[in-house]
């Protein structure tokens, strides 16, 4: 797709249609496929890229889930024999790395990419080719990381990779090299994506959409992108140091050479704590969209939710050392971070209060999406409260590195981030694919996940306080924790069945599609004011925005005297009006090979760094080729390729 | 559905209450429980923790109750079609509900910071013990207690302290980061190479207190366990006196053969004070020539300990172990007396000791495969398999059991 024309003459009633350029730039032709796999691989359409992010992240979710199950099966009984100590250490390192960098972060990128332009009334993101590059960098980075399993051993230093245990003498396989370089590559994906979405949100909102009228999900995505822009460079620095330490004999973390290993911990957690909010804020955004729709009420205290999100974004930078309360920082530093950590609970609590108040007085409809949203409130509250218990730094010296912490962050990341993502799946599936997921299967999906997650992570509070230490490849017999470990393992299987039901639901929906109504949930925001799935160009005409819940206010009219709302228009009518006033001439960016070529060069360089510098040179040439092709090629095929604007002769020829 | 939601908050409430209730129970069969403090520091931390658990539990229950109520009250009912009032917010309520938790947290912050400084303060008249972590065992030395050679008393994996007395720890590491944690006596403190961290210990009564390394430190992190043994003052003095003595030359024939084996196979890494070479000179172990972190446990008084190999294996036979553990819980003074007696020949768990000597990396994962040692200049991280014959093993066991 490229330029979308409103054809004149006999085809006027057909609405806009897509014209694809076939002109070559330099020696390479632009990709022209509008259907089939090529249309996906080389797409720069934010919606297709969003779907590819989601599909890849879902695949890695299953990989990380299998790793989690192997961990739980090993710990089902004391002295488990399923995995060796070495394999177990690789397994927990990869489980965490996968879930953080290859599942939750790209899942947020999936929703952000797909929904932000639709929610703000834009036709695409600001830099569509950069968007494509971001996806492919993530994709190749994820594949590259997992190659380590087949090339001498996966990373075994933990996702936190504390120096000096990640030095070559202590981690002699190439696993940690793969880890370092893979995170650099996916870091590029996050950075480019963040810049892209910030520019998009700040510049491309529909007329009338001030920042304080922007849908809350887009707000949370905006906050997260700023966190990424500042957090990723910090881990990039840390990774460069570790990379040079391991591959070229630098001594940044060598104690013999005068290094302080705590340097790594500070760098890692200055990234790592904002990272927690990077993981969870998009899901907060999702439930802040879902709850109002199924409560039939606007989000309670919209400005409070916005500002608390921003406040979390700021305060998130001042709490990193609470990951280091046992590291020996001394009581003064610990006291400072104790206080900052306790007070970050306040803006987080504000969100929970606002979600509850949103539901209060509403007319609650318990769809699967709504159940996951309420599930998030409940599970995240547990995770938040246990978080406060280890903000108490003296208590934390008893809790840190035990299963109590494992329980805490799984309530935050599974009960928070993942539940939010599932709410998003069920809520936006009809929008994205034009088909309904089964609500019946969805409810089974939800309840099995709730039972499974509480059964898996709930008892971890108990065994953690009973002294079961983390990152142990076996349950030590005689510690009084075997019973609950068995319960956890059984529950993890229930959780797995719950997740599997979602996969079955997706497959079933594809085999026996049920076409979704245009507005199945009686939704409130702009993304529902277009076709499902949306047209290539999102909106036939860019809507002018007058209020926060623009779509709701177009469907419902307020009685000035009573304040009651009555329905005055259906979604179909609103869409028809849009189509009737379609813009005459829309330029969409054209597909391109170059982002993918450029991204492909990155893992080639990385493999060369590990094995042979000659391969790196080859990778560098691929990157140079990619950059060259990219700058040579205009992002949008020129008008002269098509004839004058509004001339639809080419389109007519294609139709005939 | 709303009923299920309500029932769901039930177990959560029960859990919150349960955590608090569990805290009050005796936890004798949970040796690393943080809810069963046995010394001043653990108690101080626990006294600070449980009210916070309680407050968090109450807030949780209130939140879930509200969610339960609104699910029942505001669910969509048939025939109930009108659009709810479009309330956008109540700023006064919001501000109140923001300030309230802030005030509550401020109230909790005061005792928190107090306790933080209290448990870090250096106590007066404390016994100083230096704690050194390395893959994958702990070394303890007592700088204030020196032997005839002027060197401090050194032991491994079992730190012996006098009950009721303050102990000041200087914690460091010889390789990667470890963390020293005896849950019933105090929280944890990391052992970071190149840094010395201070920390305190105190045990109310004699007894054995379990702990393990809690900072991931590589392959056998899980197995890096240790114990603190608190003794009565009198027994502690006896223990010190006994630790100051050198090992005696082997007396019976089997032990003498074992001593010869030990000199040729083990003494290059493991120090035994009093072990003499052919010229009658003290043999000084040189673990740095073979072990990457340059250290190996001192075995001079191996049989004075109840466990070996990072407290992973018992030196006591199972029946003797049961008896000892029972004393630790029920009769601390008798336990103290029994511990100082050490592991007798009758109670020695020979099977376990033999299994270890037969193939150490098979029962305790270590980096000792000669083909994998490129990164460490050919040095081991751990103890390799010495491929001993059964005869050698028998002789070594005969010798080791003389190391009282």
Query: B297-315: per-residue pLDDT in tens?
Result: 999 999 999 999 999 999 9
Tokens encoding B283:
């043999």
Neighbouring CB atoms inside 10 A of B99's CB total 11
Q: What's the mean per-residue pLDDT of chain B? A: 91
pLDDT band, residue A528 (cuts 50/70/90): very high
| Whole-number Cα distances in Å, A60 to A51, A637, B124 | 14, 35, 56
Q: Is A627 left (phi over 0), alpha (psi -120 to 50) or beta?
A: alpha
| The pLDDT of residue B128 | 98
Binary contact (A335, B108; C-beta < 8 A): no
How far, in Å, CA of A462 to CA of A445, rounded? 27
3-state SS track over A45-59: CHHHHHHHHHHHHHH
Binary contact (A388, B105; C-beta < 8 A): yes
Which of B76, B222, B375 shows the shortest C-beta gap to A172?
B375
The alpha-carbon gap from B163 to the nearest alpha carbon of chain A, in Å, equals 21
How far, in Å, CA of A88 to CA of A92, rounded? 6
pLDDT in tens, A599-642: 999 999 999 999 999 999 999 999 999 999 998 887 766 654 44
Tokens encoding B177:
């980061």
Neighbouring CB atoms inside 10 A of B165's CB total 16
| The pLDDT of residue A63 | 98
pLDDT(A394) > 90 = yes
The alpha-carbon gap from A190 to the nearest alpha carbon of chain B, in Å, equals 28
How far, in Å, CA of A442 to CA of B278, rounded? 80
Whether B1 contacts chain A with CB within 8 A: yes
Q: Name the phi and psi angles at B75, rounded to 5.
A: -70, 150
Binary contact (B89, A300; C-beta < 8 A): yes
| The pLDDT of residue B89 | 86
Cα nearest neighbour of B108 on chain A: A392
pLDDT in tens, A195-222: 999 999 999 999 999 999 999 999 999 9
| The pLDDT of residue A30 | 78
Mean pLDDT of A249-272: 95
CA A512 to chain CA centroid, nearest Å: 28
Note whether B348 and B221 are within 8 A (CB). no
Binary contact (A169, B85; C-beta < 8 A): no
CA B269 to chain CA centroid, nearest Å: 24
| The pLDDT of residue A639 | 55
Tokens encoding A46:
């934010």
Contacting residues for B279 by C-beta, under 8 A, at least 6 apart: none
Q: B26 to chain A: which residues are within 8 Å by CB?
A: none
DSSP element (H, E) containing B233: helix B233-244
First to last CA, chain B: 68
| Mode of pairing for the β-strands spanning B313-314 and B307-308 | antiparallel
pLDDT in tens, B156-180: 999 999 999 999 999 999 999 999 9
| The pLDDT of residue B79 | 80
CA A629 to chain CA centroid, nearest Å: 29
The alpha-carbon gap from A18 to the nearest alpha carbon of chain B, in Å, equals 40
Alpha helices per DSSP H over A249-367: 262-295, 302-315, 331-343, 345-359
Binary contact (A462, B19; C-beta < 8 A): yes
How far, in Å, CA of A580 to CA of A161, rounded? 58
Binary contact (B189, A397; C-beta < 8 A): yes
pLDDT in tens, A540-558: 999 999 999 999 999 999 8
Tokens encoding B369:
């495969």
Cα nearest neighbour of B1 on chain A: A366
Beta strands in B213-312 (DSSP E): 225-231, 307-308
Q: What is the DSSP string of B101-169?
A: HHHHHHHHHHHHHHHHHHHHSPPTTPEEEEEEEETTEEEEEEEEEE-TTSPEEEEESEEEEETTS-EEE
| The pLDDT of residue A648 | 41
Note whether A46 and A131 are within 8 A (CB). yes
pLDDT in tens, B9-35: 444 444 544 554 454 444 458 999 999
Chosen for mutation from B16, B65, B74 (greatest number of chain A CBs closer than 10 Å) is B74
pLDDT(B329) > 70 = yes
How far, in Å, CA of B236 to CA of A57, rounded? 59
Note whether A425 and A439 are within 8 A (CB). no
Which of B1, B109, B190 shows the shortest C-beta gap to A326?
B190
Whether B132 contacts chain A with CB within 8 A: no
The alpha-carbon gap from A6 to the nearest alpha carbon of chain B, in Å, equals 38
Tokens encoding A535:
């047209």
Residue whose tokens read 């074992």: B258
Contacting residues for A421 by C-beta, under 8 A, at least 6 apart: A104, A107, A111, A283, A286
The alpha-carbon gap from A585 to the nearest alpha carbon of chain B, in Å, equals 38
Note whether A315 and A350 are within 8 A (CB). no
A–B: how many Cβ contacts below 8 A?
300
| The pLDDT of residue B250 | 84
Note whether A208 and A545 are within 8 A (CB). yes
In sequence order, the β-bridge partners of residue B307 are B314
| Mode of pairing for the β-strands spanning B158-162 and B225-231 | parallel
Q: A473 to chain B: which residues are within 8 Å by CB?
A: 222
With H, G, I as helix, E, B as strand and everything else as coil, classify residue A330.
coil
Q: What is the DSSP string of A487-526?
A: HHHHHHHHHHHHHHHHHHHHHHHHHS--BPPSSTT---SG
| The pLDDT of residue A22 | 54
Residue whose tokens read 């590491």: B173
How far, in Å, CA of A236 to CA of A231, rounded? 9
pLDDT in tens, B60-88: 999 999 999 999 999 998 887 788 888 88
- A90: nearest Cα among A21, A159, A151: A159
The alpha-carbon gap from A397 to the nearest alpha carbon of chain B, in Å, equals 5
Residue whose tokens read 């190149």: B194
How far, in Å, CA of B328 to CA of A204, rounded? 72
With H, G, I as helix, E, B as strand and everything else as coil, classify residue A566.
strand
Cα nearest neighbour of A89 on chain B: B219
With H, G, I as helix, E, B as strand and everything else as coil, classify residue A192.
helix
With H, G, I as helix, E, B as strand and everything else as coil, classify residue A19.
strand
Judged on CB neighbours under 10 Å (0-12, 13-18, 19+), B371 is exposed
- B284: nearest Cα among B303, B263, B304, B302: B263
Whether B176 contacts chain A with CB within 8 A: yes
The length of chain B, given as a count of residues: 404
Order of all β-strands in the sheet with B225-231:
B158-162, B225-231, B207-212
How far, in Å, CA of A166 to CA of A331, rounded? 28
How far, in Å, CA of B171 to CA of B184, rounded? 18
Contacting residues for B346 by C-beta, under 8 A, at least 6 apart: B320
Whether B31 contacts chain A with CB within 8 A: yes
Max distance between CA atoms of chain B, in angstroms, equals 103
Tokens encoding B148:
């005839």
Q: B187 to chain A: which residues are within 8 Å by CB?
A: 326, 394-398
Which of B70, B116, B221 shows the shortest C-beta gap to A359?
B70
Binary contact (B76, A462; C-beta < 8 A): no
Neighbouring CB atoms inside 10 A of B318's CB total 11
How far, in Å, CA of A377 to CA of A371, rounded? 10
Binary contact (A378, B381; C-beta < 8 A): no
Neighbouring CB atoms inside 10 A of B26's CB total 9
Q: Residues of A121-151 as b/e, b for ≥16 C-beta within 10 angstroms? A: bbbbbbbbbbbbbbbbbbbbbbebbbebeee
Beta strands in A501-644 (DSSP E): 556-558, 565-567, 585-587
pLDDT band, residue A457 (cuts 50/70/90): very high
Note whether A145 and A60 are within 8 A (CB). no
CA A346 to chain CA centroid, nearest Å: 25
Mean pLDDT of A395-401: 96
| Mode of pairing for the β-strands spanning B167-173 and B127-134 | parallel
Mean pLDDT of B261-288: 95
Regarding an ipTM greater than 0.90, the answer is yes
Chosen for mutation from B2, B14, B84, B121 (greatest number of chain A CBs closer than 10 Å) is B84
Chosen for mutation from A89, A157, A304, A465 (greatest number of chain B CBs closer than 10 Å) is A465
Binary contact (B193, A381; C-beta < 8 A): no
pLDDT(B354) > 70 = yes
Binary contact (B375, A262; C-beta < 8 A): no
Q: A400 to chain B: which residues are within 8 Å by CB?
A: 188, 214
pLDDT in tens, A262-294: 999 999 999 999 999 999 999 999 999 999 999
Cα nearest neighbour of A303 on chain B: B89
DSSP code for A484: H
């Amino acid at each position: 797709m490229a330029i979308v024309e409103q054809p004149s003459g006999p085809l006027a009633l057909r609405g806009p249609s897509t014209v694809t350029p076939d002109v070559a730039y330099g020696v390479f032709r632009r990709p022209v496929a509008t259907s089939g796999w090529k249309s996906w691989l080389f797409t720069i359409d934010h919606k297709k890229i969003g779907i590819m992010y989601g599909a890849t992240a879902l695949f890695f979710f299953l990989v990380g889930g299998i790793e989690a199950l192997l961990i739980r099966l090993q710990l089902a009984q004391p002295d488990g024999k399923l995995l060796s100590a070495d394999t177990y250490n690789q397994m927990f390192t990869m489980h965490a790395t996968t879930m953080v960098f290859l599942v939750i972060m790209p899942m947020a990128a999936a929703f952000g990419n797909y929904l932000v332009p639709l929610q703000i009334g834009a036709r695409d993101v600001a830099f569509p080719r950069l968007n494509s590059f971001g996806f492919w960098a993530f994709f190749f980075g994820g594949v590259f990381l997992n190659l380590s399993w087949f090339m001498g051993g996966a990373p075994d230093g933990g996702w936190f990779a504390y120096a000096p245990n990640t030095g070559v003498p202590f981690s002699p396989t190439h696993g940690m090299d793969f880890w370092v370089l893979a995170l650099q590559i996916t870091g590029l994906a996050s950075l480019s994506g963040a810049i892209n979405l910030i520019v998009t949100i700040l510049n491309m909102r529909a007329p009338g959409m001030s920042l304080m009228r922007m849908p809350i999900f887009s707000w949370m995505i905006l906050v997260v992108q700023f966190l990424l822009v500042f957090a990723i460079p910090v881990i990039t620095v840390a990774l460069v140091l570790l990379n040079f330490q391991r591959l070229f004999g630098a001594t940044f973390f060598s104690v013999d050479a005068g290094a302080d290993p705590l340097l790594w911990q500070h760098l890692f957690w200055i990234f790592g704590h904002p990272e927690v909010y990077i993981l969870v804020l998009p899901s907060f955004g999702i439930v802040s969209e879902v709850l109002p729709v199924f409560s039939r009420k606007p989000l309670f205290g919209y400005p409070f939710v916005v500002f608390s999100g921003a406040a979390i974004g700021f305060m998130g930078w001042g709490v990193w050392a609470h990951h280091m309360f046992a590291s020996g920082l001394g009581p003064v530093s610990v006291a400072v971070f104790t206080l900052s950590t306790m007070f970050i609970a306040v803006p987080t609590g504000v969100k929970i209060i606002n979600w509850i108040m949103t539901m209060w007085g509403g007319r609650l409809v318990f769809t699967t999406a709504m159940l996951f949203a309420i599930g998030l409130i409940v599970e995240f509250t547990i995770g938040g409260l246990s978080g406060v218990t280890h903000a108490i730094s003296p208590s934390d010296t008893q809790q840190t590195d035990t299963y109590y912490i494992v329980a805490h962050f799984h309530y935050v990341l599974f009960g928070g981030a993942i539940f939010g993502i599932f709410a998003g799946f069920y809520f936006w599936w009809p929008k994205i694919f034009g088909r309904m997921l089964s609500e019946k299967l969805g409810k089974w999906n939800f309840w099995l996940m709730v039972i499974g997650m509480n059964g898996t992570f709930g008892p971890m509070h108990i065994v953690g306080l009973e002294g079961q230490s983390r990152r142990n490849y076996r349950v030590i017999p005689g510690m009084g924790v075997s019973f609950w470990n068995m319960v956890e393992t059984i529950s993890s299987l229930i959780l797995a069945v719950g997740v599997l039901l979602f996969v079955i639901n997706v497959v079933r929906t594809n085999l026996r599609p049920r076409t979704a109504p245009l507005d199945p949930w009686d939704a409130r925001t702009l993304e529902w004011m277009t076709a499902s799935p949306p047209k290539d160009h999102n909106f036939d005409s860019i809507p002018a925005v007058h209020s926060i819940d623009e779509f709701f206010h177009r469907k419902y009219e307020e009685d000035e005297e009573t304040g009651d709302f009555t329905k005055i228009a259906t979604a179909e009518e609103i869409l028809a009006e849009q189509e009737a006033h379609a813009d005459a001439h829309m330029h969409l960016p054209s597909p391109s090979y170059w982002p993918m070529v450029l991204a492909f060069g990155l893992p080639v360089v990385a493999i060369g760094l590990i094995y042979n510098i000659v391969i790196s040179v080859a990778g560098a040439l691929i990157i140079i080729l990619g950059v060259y092709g990219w700058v040579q090629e205009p992002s949008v095929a020129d008008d002269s390729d098509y004839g004058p604007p509004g001339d639809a002769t080419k389109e007519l020829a294609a139709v005939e | 559905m709303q009923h299920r939601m309500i029932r769901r908050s039930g177990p959560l409430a029960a859990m919150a209450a349960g955590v608090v209730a569990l805290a009050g129970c005796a936890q004798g069969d949970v040796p690393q429980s943080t809810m069963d403090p046995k010394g001043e520091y653990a108690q101080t931390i626990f006294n600070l923790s449980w009210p916070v658990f309680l407050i968090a539990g109450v807030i949780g229950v209130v939140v879930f109750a509200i969610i339960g109520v609104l699910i029942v009250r505001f669910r969509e009912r048939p025939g109930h079609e009108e659009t709810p009032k479009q309330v956008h917010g109540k700023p006064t309520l919001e501000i109140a509900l923001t300030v309230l938790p802030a005030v509550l947290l401020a109230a909790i912050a005061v005792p928190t910071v107090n306790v933080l400084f209290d448990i870090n303060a250096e106590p007066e008249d404390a016994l100083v013990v230096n704690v050194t972590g390395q893959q994958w065992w702990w070394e303890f030395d007592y700088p204030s207690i020196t032997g005839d050679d002027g060197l401090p008393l050194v032991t491994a994996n079992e730190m012996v302290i006098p009950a009721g007395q303050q102990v000041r720890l200087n914690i460091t590491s010889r390789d990667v980061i470890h963390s020293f944690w005896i849950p019933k006596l105090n929280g944890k403190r990391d052992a970071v190479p190149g840094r010395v961290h201070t920390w305190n210990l105190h045990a109310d009564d004699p007894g054995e207190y379990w702990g393990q390394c809690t900072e991931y430190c590589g392959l056998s992190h899980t197995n890096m366990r240790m114990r603190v043994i608190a003794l009565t003052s009198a027994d502690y003095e006896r223990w010190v006196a006994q630790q100051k003595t050198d090992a005696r030359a082997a007396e019976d024939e089997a032990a003498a053969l074992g001593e010869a084996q030990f000199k040729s196979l083990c003494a290059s890494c493991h120090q035994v004070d009093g072990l003499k070479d052919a010229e009658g000179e003290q043999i000084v172990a040189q673990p740095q020539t073979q072990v990457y972190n340059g250290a190996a446990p001192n075995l001079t008084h191996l049989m004075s300990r109840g466990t070996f190999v990072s407290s992973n294996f018992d030196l006591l036979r199972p029946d003797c172990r049961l008896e000892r553990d029972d004393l630790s819980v029920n009769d601390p003074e008798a336990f103290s007396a029994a511990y100082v007696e050490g592991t007798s020949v009758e109670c020695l768990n020979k099977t376990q000791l033999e299994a270890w000597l037969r193939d150490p990396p098979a029962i305790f994962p270590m980096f000792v495969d000669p083909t994998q040692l490129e990164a460490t200049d050919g040095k081991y991280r751990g103890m390799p398999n010495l491929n001993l014959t059964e005869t050698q093993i028998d002789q070594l066991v005969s010798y080791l059991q003389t190391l009282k």
